[in-house]
């Protein structure tokens, strides 16, 4: 699925971020090994800076693969 299609689907509310953003490498547009807020926003415009900051546990300004996977797993869990 292309980033443009992902962004369109996310903005239309058809899918949740957790449902489609499984491919860390595809989201890492600059190949830095981390996901910046801009890279996350390109895939899911609804993600807020506060949500991103909470997921960025080490405060590096990028989500590591481990931080991303933990965030994705947490977002996929049902809420009560």
Cα–Cα nearest to 53, from 44, 40, 42:
40
Helix (H) or strand (E) holding 55: helix 49-55
Q: Which domains does the chain have, with CATH numbers?
A: 3-74 (1.10.238)
Q: What is the pLDDT of residue 76?
A: 66
Q: What is the pLDDT of residue 59?
A: 97
Give pLDDT tens digits for 34-78: 999 999 998 888 889 999 999 999 999 999 999 998 888 887 655
For 5, 31, 41, 63, the CA distances from 13, given in Å and listed in that order, are 12, 28, 14, 23
Are 63 and 35 a contacting pair, CB within 8 Å? yes
CA angle (74, 8, 21) in 5-degree steps: 30
pLDDT, mean over the chain: 76
């Amino acid at each position: 699925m292309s980033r443009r299609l992902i962004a369109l689907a996310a903005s239309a509310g058809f899918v949740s971020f957790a449902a489609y953003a499984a491919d860390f490498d595809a989201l890492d547009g600059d190949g830095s090994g981390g996901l910046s807020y801009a890279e996350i926003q390109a895939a899911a415009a609804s993600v807020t800076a506060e949500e991103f900051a909470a997921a960025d546990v080490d405060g590096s300004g990028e989500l590591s693969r481990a931080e991303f996977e933990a965030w994705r797993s947490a977002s996929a869990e049902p809420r009560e």
